[in-house]
Amino acid sequence: MSDETPNPSTGPKAGHGGEQKRTDEERLLDEIAKQKELIDAPPDDAKERIIRRANEKKLGQLEFKYQLMVEKKRLACELLKFQELYGDLYSEPCLICLDDIRVHASANLIEWFNCCGGFICKSCARDVREPGVGTSVDRCPLCRESLHAKTTAEKKAQVMSLAKRGVIWAQSNVGWCMTLGMRGFEIQVQTGMEWINKAAAQNYPAALYALSILYREGIASELERSQGRANELLLEAANLGHVLANSDLADCHQKGADGFEKNPDEFYFRASVAFALDNTHEEAARILGGLHFNKNQILAEPSPYLACYYRNIAASEDTTGSASYFYSKSLLRLAYNDRKTLKGSNELPAAFFWLRKSRDMGCNVAREMLKKWEIFAQKTCGNCGKKVQADEKFKQCSKCKAQWYCSKECQIEAWRAGHKQDCKRATILKFEDYLNAE
């Protein structure tokens, strides 16, 4: 086995595609260089400022596109390295589109059906729910059994029947529910452990991961806590490609916790593998976003664009306000990263939008930070840069509430110069769509 990191452009499946990808990167670098030339000269009047703004916005879009392309190539490379180290990842074809799915990697990639025990990929699951597309949503697309709401007892009976038939994911689920006493199952720790062990004996990563948690925490008099056994099971699950296990392992290597040594390289590797396997995984996105936001020994050149990209994914299902708070800070960093006086686009309205979302979810840190941002922002005109005087009060934009202006004239000039677009796109939830919005 080679110790060299495999390169996707020279791997067995790359061929012409790898060459095309490399050409795309070179093309983007050429476009970035040309775009920088367009904005080198300082603008003389308002019209030139508007033109330069458009050029700078285009430059930002190109830079992000290039950096994301390079990052995806890096993730693919890390996944190839992982498979070289630990073997090919288990996959099965989706029963509708027949695309290979790494069904054991993450629950986010598939949708299981309790009626028949089958699964389809998330993409097909979304399609069948679209009005007028594919199979009616009131029936299973595989066995045609009704999917109308069932009682907890009926759902319990279905998954129990699947477990008894030997359906591996159902065995793991039944065991977990019995162990914790949830979803209609009474607490039966020993019986639950037996079901989880049935699935774990077949190298089902989710069952191995569940056992790792149980051994790490212990269960009163039922199961003695064993950090050593928990770590063994966590490694097994992670090396089989389980996303949560790799994410947890990354966290352990970052902190040097739970018996694992502090190892920056392994930390970065495990987090990258977790995201490469499931690009919706919030914890892996949080870790990678943090690496691109904070100075660290791992990344020579952290990217403010990738910090926003990853932290936006982490914020997509935020319920506590924490992820939205960190995403707002990344947007603020992007706003002040470069070309401060004439920016192609202004990220402040979006940063304020996400900070307010965080505050509304109950995040106290965001509440205090918002007060500081507002005090700071209202001291300077968002158009001409004039500083507020002791007896003055600047006018706040009524839409985004993120910019203040010294006069009606400045507000109108800023609105026409591009603040209208900044306001409009501030509430776009996906970072890529936000950055590319006109």
Long-range CB contacts for residues 83-91, cutoff 8 Å, separation at least 24: 84/1, 84/2, 84/6, 85/1, 85/239, 86/239, 86/240, 86/241, 89/240, 89/241, 89/277, 90/240, 90/241
Which percentage of the chain shows pLDDT scores above 70? 89
Percent helix, percent strand, percent coil in the chain, to nearest 5: 60, 5, 35
HSE on the CB side for 131, CA within 13 Å?
A: 0
DSSP, res 220: T
Position with higher pLDDT, 380 vs 337? 380
Last residue of a domain, one of 64, 88, 112: 88
Question: What is the b/e burial string over 285-305, where b = at least 16 CB atoms within 10 angstroms of the residue's CB?
Answer: bbbbbbbbbeeeeeeeebbbb
Contacting residues for 102 by C-beta, under 8 A, at least 6 apart:
89, 90, 91, 109, 241, 277
Residues 94 and 126 in one domain: yes
Range of weakest confidence among 121-135, 157-171, 208-222, 370-384: 121-135
Is 291 part of a structural domain of the chain?
no
Q: How far apart are CA 155 and CA 144, in angstroms?
A: 16
Tokens of 232: 């063994």
Range of weakest confidence among 6-10, 81-85, 218-222, 383-387: 6-10
Position with higher pLDDT, 83 vs 21? 83
Residues 54 and 143 in one domain: no
Residues 71 and 113 in one domain: no
Mean pLDDT on 363-391: 94
Contact (CB, 8 A) for 8 and 73: yes
Residues 96 and 82 in one domain: no
Longest Cα separation, the chain: 78
Count of domains forming the chain: 3
Tokens of 186: 């009474």
- Helix (H) / strand (E) element for 101: namely strand 100-101
Is 279 part of a structural domain of the chain?
no
Tens digits of residue pLDDT in 403-435:
999 999 999 999 988 899 999 999 999 999 999
Mean pLDDT on 278-282: 96
Q: How far apart are CA 220 and CA 224, in angstroms?
A: 7
Q: Is residue 211 scored above 90 in pLDDT?
A: yes
Position with higher pLDDT, 99 vs 220? 99
Is 8 part of a structural domain of the chain?
no
Residues 56 and 112 in one domain: no
- Helix (H) / strand (E) element for 121: namely strand 119-121
Contact (CB, 8 A) for 246 and 281: no
Residues 423 and 413 in one domain: yes
Last residue of a domain, one of 99, 126, 148: 148
Q: Which residue has the tokens 């452990």?
A: 193
Residues 350 and 418 in one domain: yes
Tens digits of residue pLDDT in 165-202:
999 999 999 999 999 999 999 999 999 999 999 999 99
Contact (CB, 8 A) for 335 and 350: no
Task: Provide the mean pLDDT of the chain.
Answer: 89
The neighbour count for residue 276, using CB atoms within 10 Å, is 23
HSE on the CB side for 72, CA within 13 Å?
A: 12
pTM confidence score? 0.87
Q: What per-residue confidence (pLDDT) applies to 20?
A: 54
Q: What per-residue confidence (pLDDT) applies to 46?
A: 63
Residues 53 and 143 in one domain: no
Q: What per-residue confidence (pLDDT) applies to 270?
A: 98
Residues 62 and 134 in one domain: no
Is 246 part of a structural domain of the chain?
no
Q: Is residue 137 scored above 80 in pLDDT?
A: no
Is 154 part of a structural domain of the chain?
no
Contact (CB, 8 A) for 147 and 140: yes
Contacting residues for 4 by C-beta, under 8 A, at least 6 apart:
none
Contact (CB, 8 A) for 315 and 324: yes
Residues 69 and 138 in one domain: no
Is 133 part of a structural domain of the chain?
yes
Tens digits of residue pLDDT in 5-57:
444 443 444 444 444 556 788 899 899 888 888 877 666 666 676 777 788 88
Is 395 part of a structural domain of the chain?
yes
Residues 74 and 108 in one domain: no
Determine how β-strand 110-112 pairs with β-strand 100-101. unpaired
Q: Is residue 100 scored above 60 in pLDDT?
A: yes
Last residue of a domain, one of 148, 164, 195: 148
Q: What per-residue confidence (pLDDT) applies to 342?
A: 43
Is 204 part of a structural domain of the chain?
no
Tens digits of residue pLDDT in 190-200:
999 999 999 99
Q: How far apart are CA 416 and CA 301, in angstroms?
A: 35
Domain that holds residue 42: 15-88
Of 200, 113, 106, nearest in space to 155 by CA: 113
Residues 357 and 431 in one domain: yes
